[in-house]
Amino acid sequence: MSLNGNDLIEAGWQPGPQFPELLAAVRTFEEKGIHDPSYILKLLERDFEKADPRPSMRDAPIPFAEAIEATCELDEKNIDGVRKFMNQLLRTPVIEAGAVMPDACPAGGAEANIPVGGAISVKNAILPAAHSADICCSMYASIFECGESTASMIDSLTESTRFGFGGRKPEDRVAHSVLDEPVWSNKFLQGLEEYASMHLADQGDGNHFAYIGKIRVTRAFVDSLTEAGHDQIARQLHDRAAGRLDDADGATFYTLVTHHGSRGLGAHLYKRGHKAAIRETARMARDIPKAAAWLDTTTEIGQEYWEALQYIGRWTKANHQSIHERFLERSGAERVTEFGNEHNFVWEKDGTFLHGKGATPAWKDTQGRPLLGLIPLNMAAPILVTLGRDNEQFLSFAPHGAGRNQSRTATMRAFRKANGDIDDQSVQNAIDEATRGLDIRWYYGKGDLSESPMGYKPADQVRSQIEHFDLADVVAEVTPLGCIMAGDSGPRPWERKDHLTPKQKRQIEHRAERRKTRQSVRNWEELDED
């Protein structure tokens, strides 16, 4: 024969059921007097579709572990949604394992979109959509002593932080050495210096908060930290307790806990990373949903994205610390110790990249120490201080909070009037009842019911499932005194039309049209790239 199987493979045909048909066609051409191999290959390409050698989604998802149980009909509906999206995601060829935490809930309707409370293990690849736009959303705690009242401390905290869209004005910005790091030549970070500067000591909106509570430091708590290898924190607490550890109530300290991510800096990095992942994945694989696109970490572009993520981790920690330092200085408080953890991020272990979308690391660090974590449940419930159990069945994660059983819109539905408007007084009454005895502040003045305890799963349910599934040990609690969240800031500036002059209204409408035009151009550019 003019061509054999090796010739066909060299020409790009894939071995398989199609091969006998190809070889039979070669014989037919030869019987017709055609013997030129190059011409026969052209005829084969005309008559047979060449299989795409690039990998695609698996035919069936790999199994994943569920550290969650339904306790009511809402739970069951929610978990069904979580399973649907995890099963879509776990058909992705580079993913090796998956798990969902007790706080799991769907996070949007895109195919293969990782749920909140979802975790995956990936070999030599990063899926930007699996850490989401709120890169390095994290917790940070400062345990301190202070002679001020709760109200006074929260006044100082309000002056120390910032919530809502936008960022700090130039005259109100906060200096930090993290802004001076030589990272801006990284292609994923180029031109983002302004976002790094404007968002320092800035917490954003949504479920981000600044919470003041009390922690009871007992002999058992200090001993747990010592046994786990967290000697410095244990020693700092022991020394400041001054002999009170063996008292019935131990020693009580105030604690500031902040929760936020990397703001506009991380959001822009995510957009760039996800766009690059979609482009690179289309080159390496086929028919991969956008939410499952990845960057190969063995490539230059994958390594550069990983390095950008590491800077975002350092920047976000500096953001927390800036708020804490400003608060301690304003309130005249004295820090005893501090610690924190990420829960929206990617962590690397021996070439395996663990992704958590709202999942608290609960493994052992490089020194063999169970990780120390903070798990908030809602503004009226204690924040749990945990030591990870390193339960590999669930990828050694724990939940990052209480999670939701329904969307924010669904939560608000019961508070709508017949005309569809929100009954603001009923909303405020419900928030007041759910947070009775606490100093709750909304940075923009108006409460957000969806961020009150009513917007989340029952705290006791999540805590009991942490214990039931052996995810982490609860070694202490921070009980609430007060909390600041963004609240409802009302319409964005470009949507506000009350009390404006006709000229101002025309300017706002003109800017809105320009934004629509720019978005339309971007949409066409994306379609062109696709």
User: What was the pLDDT predicted at 494?
Assistant: 46
Q: Give 279: exposed, middle or buried? Use CB within 10 Å, 0-12, 13-18, 19+.
A: middle
Please tell me whether residues 380 and 265 are part of one structural domain: yes
The Cα 327–Cα 211 span in angstroms is: 12
CB within 8 Å of 252: residues ≥ 6 apart:
214, 215, 216, 217
**Domain presence at residue 88:** no
Whether 485 and 209 have beta carbons less than 8 Å apart is answered as yes
pLDDT band at 521 (very low <50, low <70, confident <90, very high): very low
Q: Is 64 a domain residue?
A: no
> Above 70 in pLDDT, residue 434?
yes
Q: 336-352 in b/e burial notation, b at 16+ Cβ within 10 A?
A: bbbbbbbbbbbbeeeee
Distance CA 207, CA 259 (A): 8
- Backbone conformation region of residue 62, classed left if phi is above 0, alpha if psi is from -120 to 50, else beta: beta
393 with 524, same domain: the answer is: no
pLDDT at res. 228: 98
pLDDT tier, 530 (very low <50, low <70, confident <90, very high otherwise): very low
Residues 148 and 283 in one domain: yes
Query: Could you say which DSSP state residue 304 is in?
Result: H
Determine the structural domain holding residue 510 and report its residue range: 493-529
Per the CB < 8 A criterion, the answer to whether 330 and 160 are in contact is yes
pLDDT number for residue 525: 42
Q: What average pLDDT does range 77-99 have in this prediction?
A: 97
Banded model confidence at residue 383, pLDDT cuts 50, 70, 90: very high
- C-alpha–C-alpha distance, residues 216 and 47, integer Å: 77
Given 464, 485, 506, the domain boundary residue is 485
508 confidence band (pLDDT: 50, 70, 90): low
Indicate the SS3 state at residue 352: strand
Same domain, 299 and 396: yes
- Give the model's confidence band at 527: pLDDT under 50 very low, under 70 low, under 90 confident, else very high: very low
**In DSSP terms, which residues pair with 357 in a beta bridge?**
118, 344
The mean pLDDT of 384-406, rounded to a whole number, is 96
Please report whether residue 25 resides in a domain.
yes
Q: What is the DSSP string of 377-426?
A: --TTSPEEEEEE---GGGTTEEESS---SS-HHHHHHTTB-TTS-B-HHH
pLDDT of residue 253: 98
Residue 96 within a domain: no
Mean pLDDT over each residue of the chain, to the nearest integer: 92
Regarding whether 506 and 415 lie in a shared domain, the answer is no
Lowest mean pLDDT among 12-26, 201-215, 290-304, 499-513: 499-513
Q: What is the CATH number of the domain that holds 252?
A: 3.90.1860.10
Mean pLDDT of 101-113: 94
Residue 33 lies in a domain: yes
Quick check: is 213 in a domain? yes
Q: Tell me if 52 is assigned to some domain.
A: no
Whether residues 150 and 297 share a domain: the answer is: yes
Q: Are residues 276 and 351 in the same domain?
A: yes
361 plus 408 within the same structural domain? yes
Amino acid 222: pLDDT: 97
Does 480 lie in the same domain as 430?
yes
Shared domain check, 522 and 430: no
Shared domain for 42 and 142, answered yes or no, is no
Per the structure, how many domains does the chain have?
3
| pLDDT for 19 | 86
Residue 209 has pLDDT above 60, yes or no: yes
Residues 509 and 384 both lie in one domain = no
Residue 524 lies in a domain: yes
Determine if residue 251 is left, alpha or beta; phi over 0 gives left, psi from -120 to 50 gives alpha, anything else beta: beta
